[in-house]
Structure 1
Amino acid sequence: MAEESTTALTERGVRTRERLIQAAREVFEEMGFLDTRVRHITERAGAAYGTFYTYFDSKEAVLREVADRIFADMTGRDRLPLGPDASPRDRVSRANRSYYTAYLRNARMMAIIEQVATFNEEFREMRRRHRASATGRSARAIRRWQSEGLVDAGLDADLAARALAAMVDHSLYLRLVQGEGDDTERFLDTLDALTVRALGLDRLT
């Protein structure tokens, strides 16, 4: 019955599963993935040891659930308000700040997911899949700006989106996981400026 669909669970079962997921995230963040044991998760959730295996096959399985939710949060639509007449530069700034805020909420787990992805192919694939979702949206924005004559039509939109995402991702990892830097606004303004200049949007008045 492990990893049973929530549609097949009772209301009590759904609550128990959610408690286990929340407990797993808390324990992973405190102890790291490698040192966490299933009993740590069940103790935190206030559940019997065997109850865990009603919903999940392993600690990897519950980490997948936690990671999926984090990536959904990280790559979801921008939540910061922006008017319909916003310029491309405004949209770049909004996207970077929205992503920064989401990364900040999830920094501890992102460090763990990145670590697990170095030795677990399934998590590498999950990371690629969720990154592709975000970069695909960026590539569509670049193509739209190309059609409007705002970005060089010869630029490969997909490669540009991936390169810019890698820059932002690694910069956020160094800042929020490794603790490099302390001036948030200067940091975000620099990411905005590099993105805008890379796309040639700095030519706009």
Structure 2
Amino acid sequence: MAKSSVNTPSVPAPVETLTARGRKTRDALLDAARTVFETVGFPDTRVEQITQEANVAYGTFYRYFESKEHIFRELSTRLFEDVHRREPTDPDLSPAARLVAANRSYYKAYRRNARLMAIVEQVATINDEFRELRHEHRSQLIERTSRAIARWQQEGLVRQSLDPILAARAMSAMVDHTLYLWLIQGEAADEEALLSTLDQMCLGALGLESDSP
């Protein structure tokens, strides 16, 4: 018996043209995709599994997404936007306090997204498109951090000998790899001691005086 074909559009409908019901279905597919990716990994995920998890017909998927790569790319973008978002801080805080607050915001977001982050890091090692996406979002974080470092140098608070971009890259790599080993690889650590150590090392690398005694 021949398998019936699914009549799917070549290009999914733009998000801005969707009805409220359409947006709800699309969001359900994104939630389902995240669950499946985190459960079986990117290589073993199939569109059929996503639609089953979302409890929608197979063909419905293609009204909103071109492929599993397409939906994974959107999930990855949302992930990085969440992880790199900074919670507002008191403008009267010292640079050291603002740096620690930004770090803690990043730690919380990384932990909240650790399972999907593990999949993203895995895919970035085998897929050029997602590797570039990972680099793009990392570059945004580094640019923001380097601007802060340059500003603090102008204010005479940070070592003038540091290259702001290289310093931002080194600090980001240290924090990311430490969190990866702890939250994804399961390396044992006392949470507060580990985060406090990361904070102190970031401050020490820049030469910023901690507000803590």
Instruction: Tell me if both proteins adopt one fold, taking TM over 0.5 as the criterion.
Output: yes
Structure-to-structure mapping, 1:21-36, within 5 angstroms: 21-36=30-45
Normalising by structure 1, we get a TM-score of: 0.94
**Which of 161, 166, 176 is residue 168 of structure 2 equivalent to?**
161
Structure-to-structure mapping, 1:1-205, within 5 angstroms: 1=9, 2-76=11-85, 78-79=86-87, 82-202=89-209
Letter of the 1:176 counterpart: L
Q: CA deviation at 1:10?
A: 2.1
Query: Hey, what's the Cα distance between the residues in 1 that align with 2:83 and 2:146?
Result: 17
Normalising by structure 2, we get a TM-score of: 0.90
Runs of at least 5 residues in structure 2 that lack an aligned partner in the other structure? 1-8
CA, structure 1 residues 36+143, in 2 after alignment: closer, same or farther (shift >3 Å)?
A: same
CA, structure 1 residues 62+203, in 2 after alignment: closer, same or farther (shift >3 Å)?
A: closer
Query: Hey, what's the Cα distance between the residues in 2 that align with 1:66 and 1:119?
Result: 17
Greater share of residues in helix: 1
- Identity over aligned residues, as a percent? 55
Q: Is the 8 A contact 2:30 2:71 kept in 1?
A: yes
Query: Hey, what's the Cα distance between the residues in 2 that align with 1:25 and 1:203?
Result: 39
Query: Hey, what's the Cα distance between the residues in 2 that align with 1:129 and 1:32?
Result: 22
Query: Hey, what's the Cα distance between the residues in 2 that align with 1:181 and 1:155?
Result: 32
Count, aligned residues? 203
Query: Hey, what's the Cα distance between the residues in 2 that align with 1:187 and 1:4?
Result: 46
Query: Hey, what's the Cα distance between the residues in 2 that align with 1:155 and 1:182?
Result: 30
* Aligned CA-pair RMSD: 1.6
- What do residues 7-40 of structure 1 show as CA deviations (whole Å, max 9, x unaligned)? 1222221111111111000111111111111111
Q: Which 4+ residue blocks in structure 1 deviate beyond 6 angstroms? A: none
Letter of the 2:46 counterpart: R
Letter of the 1:84 counterpart: P
Q: CA deviation at 1:162?
A: 0.8
